[in-house]
Amino acid sequence: MIRDITLPAFDKLLAQLISAPSVSSASSVWDQSNCKVIALLADWFGQLGFSVEIMDVPDNPGKQNLIATMGQGAGGLVLSGHTDTVPFDQAKWSSDPFSLNYRDDRFYGLGSCDMKGFFPVILSAVSDFSGAEFKQPLIVIATADEESSMSGAQALAEAGRPKARCAVIGEPTSLRPIRMHKGMMMERIHLQGRSGHSSNPALGKNALDCMVEVLVELTAFRRELQSQYQNSSFEIDVPTMNFGHIHGGDNPNRICGACELQFDLRPLPGMDIDSLRNSISKRVKPIAQKHQIEIVIEHLFGGVPAFETPANSQFVKACERLSGQPADAVAFATEAPYLQKLGMETIVMGPGSIDQAHQPDEFLAIDQIKPAVNILKGLIQQYCIEDVPAVPNDNEGIL
């Protein structure tokens, strides 16, 4: 049961979260622990009567996930947010990024919309259920490192937790339910040949000559993927492959000894990351063999799968009704595929606009907060207090 206690007001809670720095980054110069944010959330949810569990992220010192649970059962609702922020450019901020600043009906601060602001929204929604019986669990998840490696969500998926019927990830979507996003992979191809005097090609093995053919092959693969896969829900309705970095050789009169390409690939739902990697490898390895050049293909990070919850899912319909907006697709990747893997119908929907995320003067507009609290209250009522039937139906009277 939710305890009848009064937590500090929304802005006081958000201010504390904003002043607990939790930048995550692949660069160790920027990377920070998220433990302070986790400790604040553990305290608040604990005070409300949730059973609170803090889990260290394996092989990632200083990084923690939080699972806070109210009630029991096989159904229920997960509300999930990440605790980390991206790095920031202090000189471009008009106020201190770590101090909540309220002006022009907006809360300014690093992570205000992406996405520390989601947690006080949850706390406000939950407080309204003090004394109520939960027939199914409400589980709040706070993850580490979403902005860098997604290691927090991956650790949870590997642990097989949490389990519930449905999940909302409160990334900033201006409260529009998002049921699809593309995946993301970043790959590196390194070709190692041998340098030598350019006057005689036989004196070396030219990695750049080989890379030209690799690029032609990848371009052909991209064309094939784009003719095979289309999804009109996305603004860019085909999978994309961007050649983003190439480096090789040193001098016009030396045979190019080594060449490296880095590219990203953004698959549509229905495309599998592992099979894409296999195809790439099958296509480019024979080229390197022909040139007698060593080839290394690596992932720059583990990759995020594409994600899709069916349009006719009962949960999608419930989120559409409560938000008053039709479900949509977005271009950015989230932790949704990891929650979906655990068997939950998953939606990305939260306060604030993605336009303000990862920007100087990031803010959360105050007019997003009340509607966000109301949507969460509606979902908690339906999925935890009333425990809707597991069989999907289109009964408009459910709410």
320 flagged as catalytic: no
314-323 vs 369-380: helix axis angle to the nearest 10? 140
User: Hey, which residues between 128 and 187 contact Zn ion (CB under 5 A)?
Assistant: 171
User: Please, what is the minimum distance in Å from the beta carbon of residue 275 to Zn ion?
Assistant: 28
Query: Which of 399, 335, 367, 380 has the alpha carbon at shortest distance from 106?
Result: 367
Task: Give the C-alpha distances (Å, rounded to integers) separating 18 from 54, 100, 238, 239.
Answer: 20, 6, 38, 36
Distance in Å, CB of 363 to Zn ion, minimum: 15
Q: In angstroms, what is the minimal distance from the CB of 93 to Zn ion?
A: 18
Candidates 396, 399, 369; CA nearest to 381 is 399
The smaller minimum CB distance to Zn ion, of residues 114 and 320, is found at 114
> How many of the chain's residues bind Zn ion (CB under 5 A)?
3
Among 2, 16, 71, 114, binds Zn ion (CB under 5 A): 114
Mark whether 396 is an active-site residue: no
CA distance 35 to 147: 16
Nearer to Zn ion, 34 or 136 (CB): 34
What mask, x for binding Zn ion by CB under 5 A, covers residues 367 to 396?
Answer: ------------------------------
Q: Which of 31, 114, 146, 171 is catalytic?
A: 146
Which position among 31, 84, 345, 362 bears the catalytic label?
A: 84
Separation CA 284–CA 214 (nearest Å) = 6
105: left (phi over 0), alpha (psi -120 to 50) or beta: left
Minimum distance, C-beta of residue 357 to Zn ion, in the bound complex (Å): 6
In this structure, are residues 210 and 293 in contact, taking their beta carbons and an 8 Å threshold? yes
Q: Which is nearer to Zn ion, 143 or 314 (CB)?
A: 143
Alpha carbon distance 130, 275 (integer Å): 49
For Zn ion, the closer CB: 84 or 187: 84
Distances (CA, A) of 54 to 57, 152, 328, 331: 10, 12, 33, 31
Task: Output the smallest distance, CB 3 to Zn ion, in A.
Answer: 30
Q: Which is nearer to Zn ion, 115 or 256 (CB)?
A: 115
Position with the least CB separation from Zn ion? 114
Among 1-9, 115-123, 232-240, 361-369, which window interacts with Zn ion (CB under 5 A)? 115-123
Q: Measure the CA angle with vertex 78, ends 47 and 126; round to 5°.
A: 40
Contacts with Zn ion in 305-344 (CB under 5 A)?
none
Token pair recorded at residue 282: 């099958």
Q: Which residues bind Zn ion (CB under 5 A)?
A: 114-115, 171
Residues carrying an active site annotation = 84, 146
